[in-house]
Structure 1
Amino acid sequence: MITVPRHATTYSLFVPDEEAAREGARALTGRGHALVRVAPDPTTDSGWRIDSLDEGPYPDDDEHWWTAAENRAVTVLAERLGGRLSRSMALTETARRFFPGEELVCDRSADDVRELRVGVLSREPARTPAPAIVHGLGAEEPSGAPSGEPIVLDGLDDVDWSSLTGAYGPAGEVPDILRGLAANDEGWEEAVEEYFSTVVHQDTCYDCTPETIGFLVQLVRAPQLFPAYRLHLLIHLAYIATIDPVPATGEPDSDEAAACQAVLDRLPGLLALWPDAPAAVRAWLIVLAAVRPGAAPRPEFHEFRGRLDGPSPALDLALALISGDDGAVRDLTRAAAAWDEEVSAKLEEPFPHRTRDLKVLFHLALAELAPR
């Protein structure tokens, strides 16, 4: 059923010159964007800017899917024109009210572009049904025992934290954040929020970040840590390890790469949890193992997967990465892209293949295996 989306998308393409701007405007007009304008970019000497408004309609009511499909198409256009892209979303009335003026190439209503817009998007595949996950690994497990006693972090005072930096300057408060985690009490969530504000912030690491990884691993391995906290820490470690996995990015000196390497260096200690670990922890250990380049396949990983009922896109991708089966990795990521628009977006990012695959892995693992 053809549907007008609730939110319109405004695209701004910054291109090298007027010729590129005119070409891009024609392409966006041909895709059924309702408003398209071109103008010199006042921030450059010779650059131009294209603004366009996509307000639908879409082939059906799956607004997120079709918006993502259009994002991919406009991103490809911007790259072809040698430009860059920004976008914003708003209610249609708001987007029209604040749409830039100057030279309008076209000014149409959603009704005017209905046939053209639906025809263009209908050339894209619709979302396929997502696999039904029945294994239950994402179910929240009760914490129960152990006692919740505080954990002593060995070597915490041996680090010269004042010489390191975090998101807001010197990292002098980082040991207190780690002690907050080690308290193993009701203040856990607050300490986690402080960690992901100061030590890791919006996919950015700092020179203090790698120094904290060993202490996070101490917490994970501490027998008295609440089970729910252990699982959450493993998820956080998987996230850190996939921000800038090395050596795939070719930037081994970045703080993000150093933090990833710090996780990988301690992977044997994490995998030592396997024999006594519950199923949810084992699943995240497999995800973490997939981050290491050339990791040796472990029969127990495949045995674990074999005992699970139903589909597991995350674990299947992790096992394919561990085994180095590039064909299976390609097939699994493409299959996921057919039902998850975020996977499609990640596969289009300008990263090396392995980096993209690991980011897809973490995204799928978070959706499938994180406690809910």
Structure 2
Amino acid sequence: MIHVPRHATTFSLFVSDEETAREGAQELAARGHTLVRVAPASGSGWRIASLDEGPYPDEDETWWTAAEDRVVTELAVDLGADLGRSVAHPETARRFFPEGEAVCDRTVEQVRDTRISAFSRIPARASRPAVVHDLGNPEPPEGPTGEPVVLRGLDDVDWAALTGAYGPADEVPDILRGLAANDEEWDEAIDEYFSTVVHQDTCYDCTPETVRFLVQLARAPQLSPVYRLDLLIHLTYIATIDPVPPTGEAGSDEAATCQAITDHLPELLALWPDASAAARAWLIVLAALRPAADRLPDFQEFRRQVDGPSPALDLALALVSGDDDAVLDLTLAAASWDEQVSAMLETPIPLRVRHLKILSHLALTELTPAN
């Protein structure tokens, strides 16, 4: 059923010259964008402003909005344009739409056939695999033991010589001690860690230094199992902000942090024999950072015991085993039902890095508690 979305998207493409601006504007008009204008940009160059008000082939707004965003992003790359976007109710979007020479100004009804034709080459969302396992909702433990963990070597690091999000990292040891307290203040300590040490997907030169202490925590027998699982999830997330290819070198604080986590993988995987099912799932995901065959039979046996589909575990196993054909099939399959995977597949980064980011996304979706 043809559907008009509740929100409209305004795209702004900044290009070098008028000819390129008019070429891009015509492309967007041909896709059925309702309002398209061109104008000289402030400073230099030209701006294309384009409004996507729909309609879409059906009510799956998230899917079709993401699909259109990918098309416009690809156009921006072809034009050598800087791309910006904003979302608002259609009336608001039109009221604040940038001034300029109108290439077209039409209603949603007037662009209906053009719009649906433009989407005819994009398949609708496929059915998401029905996950029946409960690895994302493990049984909660009775509670933290309350017995603190002693972090070896914490005072040997010159934290004041390192930097965090707000300057010198001299407060980082207290944040790590807060985690090591192994008590009901865990969530607050995690929040402080992600405010100071890893802030909005940004790492600092202090971040890789913290990894060995997080690994010490994860391996401490007295650590509450729920906190250990939390650490494995966070380590996966941090490691895939800017993952390092197996033969690559760290070129950023994010990549250096990934490298530190990868270097400590043997210690983390040593948790396997006594780990819970939920923790084992995350250990398999982490193992994809550095393919190795030594624990692959254990991983495969674990997967056989997990009922039903598991896109995250299957992709992790394909990466661990180096099965490139399976990785391709699994990521393409996920892209047919997850718009974020579709966008990640088109990101201009090394292929394995792309796959690790997709794995992290799928794992966070499948293997964490549903909200």
Q: TM-score range by the shorter chain?
A: over 0.9
Cα distance per residue 1:57-85 (max 9 Å; x no partner):
11100000000100111011111111121
Cα distance in 2 for residues equivalent to 1:287 and 1:339: 21
Deviation at 1:36, TM superposition (A): 0.5
SS in 2 for 1:51: strand
**Equivalent residue number for residue 82 of structure 2:** 84
Matches within 5 A, 1:343-354: 343-354=341-352
Matches within 5 A, 1:270-309: 270-293=268-291, 296=294, 298-309=296-307
Cα distance per residue 1:312-353 (max 9 Å; x no partner):
100110111111111110110000000000000111111000
The structure 2 residue matched to 1:129, chosen from 119, 127, 130, is 127
**Equivalent residue number for residue 8 of structure 1:** 8
Cα distance in 1 for residues equivalent to 2:191 and 2:214: 14
**Equivalent residue number for residue 336 of structure 1:** 334
Cα distance in 2 for residues equivalent to 1:123 and 1:78: 19
SS in 1 for 2:110: helix
Cα distance in 1 for residues equivalent to 2:291 and 2:203: 21
Answer yes or no: is 1:30 the counterpart of 2:16. Answer: no
Could you list the runs of 5+ residues in structure 1 that have no partner in the other structure?
A: none
Cα distance in 2 for residues equivalent to 1:354 and 1:69: 23
Distance 1:165 1:197, change over 3 A: same
Distance 1:181 1:53, change over 3 A: same
**Equivalent residue number for residue 41 of structure 2:** 41
SS in 2 for 1:291: coil
The amino acid that maps onto 1:70 is E
Deviation at 1:249, TM superposition (A): 9.6
Deviation at 1:294, TM superposition (A): 5.5
Cα distance per residue 1:202-256 (max 9 Å; x no partner):
2211000000001111111111111111111100000111111113695523111
**Equivalent residue number for residue 310 of structure 1:** 308
Cα distance in 1 for residues equivalent to 2:35 and 2:247: 39
Deviation at 1:143, TM superposition (A): 2.0
Contact 2:182 2:224 (C-alpha < 8 Å) held by counterparts = yes
SS in 2 for 1:111: coil
Cα distance in 2 for residues equivalent to 1:42 and 1:178: 48
Select between 16-25 and 294-303 the one with higher mean Cα deviation.
Answer: 294-303
Could you list the runs of 5+ residues in structure 2 that have no partner in the other structure?
A: none
Residues paired across the two proteins, number: 370
Contact 1:11 1:88 (C-alpha < 8 Å) held by counterparts = yes
Cα distance in 2 for residues equivalent to 1:109 and 1:260: 49
Cα distance in 1 for residues equivalent to 2:97 and 2:43: 18
**Equivalent residue number for residue 269 of structure 1:** 267
**Equivalent residue number for residue 74 of structure 1:** 72
Cα distance in 1 for residues equivalent to 2:83 and 2:291: 33
Q: Give the alignment's Cα RMSD to 1 decimal.
A: 1.4
Cα distance in 1 for residues equivalent to 2:247 and 2:16: 28
- Please report the TM-score for the alignment, with normalisation by the length of structure 2: 0.97
Distance 1:199 1:35, change over 3 A: same
The structure 1 residue matched to 2:213, chosen from 212, 215, 235, is 215
Contact 1:248 1:352 (C-alpha < 8 Å) held by counterparts = no
**Equivalent residue number for residue 60 of structure 1:** 58
Cα distance in 1 for residues equivalent to 2:266 and 2:292: 14
Cα distance in 2 for residues equivalent to 1:183 and 1:297: 32
The structure 1 residue matched to 2:177, chosen from 163, 179, 194, is 179
Contact 2:10 2:50 (C-alpha < 8 Å) held by counterparts = yes
Cα distance in 1 for residues equivalent to 2:143 and 2:191: 24
The amino acid that maps onto 1:14 is F
Cα distance in 2 for residues equivalent to 1:18 and 1:295: 56
Distance 1:81 1:249, change over 3 A: farther
Deviation at 1:14, TM superposition (A): 1.2
**Equivalent residue number for residue 195 of structure 2:** 197
The amino acid that maps onto 2:272 is W
**Equivalent residue number for residue 241 of structure 1:** 239
Cα distance in 2 for residues equivalent to 1:126 and 1:170: 50
The amino acid that maps onto 1:185 is D
Cα distance in 1 for residues equivalent to 2:141 and 2:37: 57
- Please report the TM-score for the alignment, with normalisation by the length of structure 1: 0.97
SS in 1 for 2:288: helix
Deviation at 1:259, TM superposition (A): 0.3
Contact 2:331 2:341 (C-alpha < 8 Å) held by counterparts = yes
Cα distance in 2 for residues equivalent to 1:122 and 1:344: 17
Cα distance in 2 for residues equivalent to 1:206 and 1:344: 30
Cα distance in 1 for residues equivalent to 2:49 and 2:223: 53
Name segments (4+ residues, structure 1) moved above 4 Å: 248-251, 293-297
Contact 2:5 2:61 (C-alpha < 8 Å) held by counterparts = yes
Distance 1:43 1:198, change over 3 A: farther
SS in 2 for 1:42: coil
Deviation at 1:3, TM superposition (A): 0.8
Deviation at 1:298, TM superposition (A): 1.8
Deviation at 1:4, TM superposition (A): 0.6
